[in-house]
Structure 1
Amino acid sequence: MTKFILFSGKGGVGKTSMASSTAVHYAEEGKKTLIVTTDPAANLSDVFEQEIGHRVTKINGLDGLFAMEIDPDKATEEYKERSLAPMRELFDEDLIKVAEEQLSGPCTEEMAAFDKFIDFMDGKEYDIVIFDTAPTGHTIRLLELPVDWSKHIEESAKGSGQTCMGPVALIEDSKKKYDDAIAKLRDTSVTDFVFVMQPEQTSLEETMRSSHDLEELGIKTTKIIVNGLIPEEEAAIPFFKKKYEKQLQTLEKSKEIFKHISLQTMELFDEELKGVEMFKKSASKLFQGSDQNE
């Protein structure tokens, strides 16, 4: 059975670095691993130092590791075409134009991103699929979309039989696929949801809020990575000492608040996390680290 791991968190907390380190770890273990980013500001190409883009691409230097950057514009075009294709044979050009206009809003773009996202939850080609998601608020909005199907269908029944998600018939056809994906996201034996945060009060508060919002959707947070800790030996330098002590205070608060969730720590590196070899080093530290809540 494929294992799914979703990484989320505020922009700039090191989410992509932790997701990439995890992907490299599993590929090194011999598992066929795919890392997919749904973040519009995707930078997998930068961190793996090779062209990736809107297609599954093998990562150089490590067998069994593949990556893809979902392009929101291309995903939207693919989704719209799939929505309109069955209509082209049945309706005239004027009705098709109306349908195209209804499929041109932000809701359609979000649904297209979700649709592409769950394409990777539907197959069995990979042992591990890692999602490096957009910043937290956007991710939660994405996961909310298919939860209340009846609302979308009822709204469309009052009008033209068309919603911003596409024709009602298409929504109903997709319902099982989407319901299965949501069920997998809620099943902790199949899916891990990992929040990455910095050891700072604002980052902790954001993680608390987002974890609660996720729970409202029936999705449990299974792990938290506190990333960016100053190494203890560096705290001997007065410049870092005060910041280090504040980080430790936030870490203690995090342990108390998330006492029933696996909480890992990750120290700052003295160089940029970039390239397979650096991710091997960070993966080694991440997976050898102890669970702070044990």
Structure 2
Amino acid sequence: MTKFLFFSGKGGVGKTSLSSSAAVMLAQRGEKTLLVTTDPASNLGDVFHQSVGLLATPVVGVDNLYIQEIDPVESLRLYKERALAPLRELFPEDVVRSIEEKMSGPCTEEIATFDQFIACMHQPDYDYVIFDTAPTGHTLRLLELPGSWSAHIEMSAQGTGQTCIGGVEALTASKKQYDQAVQALRDGNRTQFVFVTRPDRIAIQEMMRSSKELQKLNIDNQMAIVNGVIPEEDRDHPYAARRWAVQSKYLAQVQAVFTGRIVEIPLYPDDVVGLDNISEVGRDLAHVLAV
């Protein structure tokens, strides 16, 4: 397994459950693991029955596992304060206030979130860093950000020296760090993107759109987990047989169009919350991922 694992997919397909299970599985094997969510709608705290915030927090009952939530609002506050702190010593308050107003747009929030995202990738103390990412479109937007900065920085440098996301000098330095992170994302020896999907039409269509968008960013290190497959021993039941007849068609479709590795995870009778259930899914993941 690579050091960085990104679990992504359409909302509701089970990526939080599977990313949590993978993290627990690794931690129980003695690997120091950080599980990070970038999804504003994530229920990571509910999964582990404890609070989660912007700082990495040890998981109660699981040695070697830490969880963290990248909150866009708090990330923006920290980003702005870090950018404005040196300016407060150089400029009058009204000038700093004007700069702060320019940094209050949505583009700054996206960059601030990406800033925290990248900081998690520069954590040398962890053996593995697993990301439970926001629905795929938002994740792709984050990954596209560094590539669109150069022209914006160059134009701003010829003017006031300020951009909507901070000063040109500091931003240029950050961009170099971000570019290095994107290179890591493209490196199949360091990063694996795991698309979580369900055996249904809409989820698979979104997965394939996202897979192609990642390929446009030269990110080909992809695999797919089809979640919620009817277990083989249950397929004789009348209801399950009907569901399996539908699922099998979509599984064949995934195998026909997705070029990366494909694995299946069964439909579980209970919600994947609480350490016992998470550990059970983690054991299944270890089997299908051959780790």
For Structure 1 versus Structure 2, the TM-score category normalised by the shorter chain is over 0.9
Query: SS of the residue aligned with 2:49?
Result: coil
Task: Tell me how far 1:157 sits from its aligned partner.
Answer: 3.6
TM-score normalized with structure 2 length:
0.95
Q: Deviations over 1:164-184 (max 9, x none)?
A: 221111111212211111111
Query: What one-letter code is carried by the residue in structure 2 that aligns with 1:81?
Result: E
Identify the residue that residue 264 of structure 1 maps to in structure 2.
263
- State how far apart, in whole Å, the 2-side matches of 1:188 and 1:229 are: 28
Q: CA deviation at 1:209?
A: 0.5
Aligned sequence identity (%):
50
Q: Which runs of 5+ in 1 are unaligned?
A: none
Q: State whether residues 2 and 124 of structure 1, in contact with CA within 8 Å, keep that contact through their aligned partners in structure 2.
A: no
CA displacement at 1:232 relative to structure 2: 2.6
Distance in 2 separating the partners of 1:19 and 1:51 = 17
Q: Verify the 8 A CA contact 2:10 2:136 in the aligned structure 1.
A: yes
Q: Distance in 2 between matches of 1:289 and 1:222?
A: 15
Q: Which moved more, 1:281-290 or 1:190-199?
A: 281-290
TM-score (norm 1): 0.94
Q: Counterparts in 2 of 1:1-294, with a 5 A limit?
A: 3-157=3-157, 159-258=159-258, 260-289=259-288
Where 1:25 maps in the other structure, the secondary structure is helix
**Cα RMSD after superposing both structures:** 1.7
Bigger CA drift: 99-108 or 163-172?
163-172
Q: Which moved more, 1:233-242 or 1:44-53?
A: 233-242
Task: Say which SS state the counterpart of residue 250 (structure 2) adopts.
Answer: helix
Query: Which secondary structure state, in structure 2, belongs to the residue aligned with residue 215 of structure 1?
Result: helix
1:10 and 1:135 in contact (8 A); partners too: yes
In structure 1, give the amino acid aligned to 2:64.
G
Task: Give yes or no for contact 2:186–2:221 (8 Å, CA) kept in 1.
Answer: no
2:209 and 2:221 map into 1 onto residues whose CA distance is 12
Does the 8 A contact of 1:194 with 1:222 survive in 2? yes
**What secondary structure, in the 3-state scheme, does the structure 1 residue paired with 2:125 have?**
coil
Does the 8 Å CA contact 1:27/1:64 hold for their aligned counterparts?
A: yes
Runs of 4+ in 1 over 4 A off after TM superposition: none
1:242: how far off? 2.2
Q: What is the aligned residue count?
A: 290
Q: Distance in 2 between matches of 1:21 and 1:65?
A: 11
Q: Is the 8 A contact 1:49 1:275 kept in 2?
A: yes
Alpha-carbon separation, structure 1, partners of 2:210 and 2:231: 28
What is the identity, as a one-letter code, of the residue corresponding to 1:73?
Answer: V
Paired with 2:8 and 2:91, the residues of 1 have a C-alpha distance of 42
Q: Is the 8 A contact 1:195 1:221 kept in 2?
A: no
Matched residue SS, 1:34 = strand
1:181-237 Cα distance to aligned partner (Å, 9 max, x none) = 111111110111111001011111111100111111121242110001122333322
1:159 positional shift: 4.3
Secondary structure of the structure 1 residue equivalent to 2:122: coil
The secondary structure found in structure 2 opposite 1:196 is: strand
> Aligned partners of 1:205, 1:54: CA distance in 2, in Å?
33
Q: Structure 1 216/2 Cα, relative in aligned 2: closer, same or farther at 3 Å?
A: closer
Gaps of 5+ in 2: none
Distance 1:46 1:123 in 2: 25
Distance 1:94 1:60 in 2: 47
Contact 1:27 1:65 in 2 (8 A): yes
For residue 249 of structure 2, what is the amino acid of its counterpart? Q
User: How far 1:106 moved relative to its partner?
Assistant: 0.8
- TM-fit CA distance, 1:15: 0.5
> Partner of 2:35: helix, strand, or coil?
strand
TM-aligned CA distance change 1:156 to 1:279, over 3 Å: same
Q: Given that residues 2 and 127 in structure 1 are in contact (C-alpha distance below 8 angstroms), is that contact kept between their aligned partners in structure 2?
A: no
Work out whether residues 2 and 191 of structure 2, in 8 Å CA contact, stay in contact via their aligned partners in 1. Answer: no
Q: Which letter maps to 2:229?
A: L
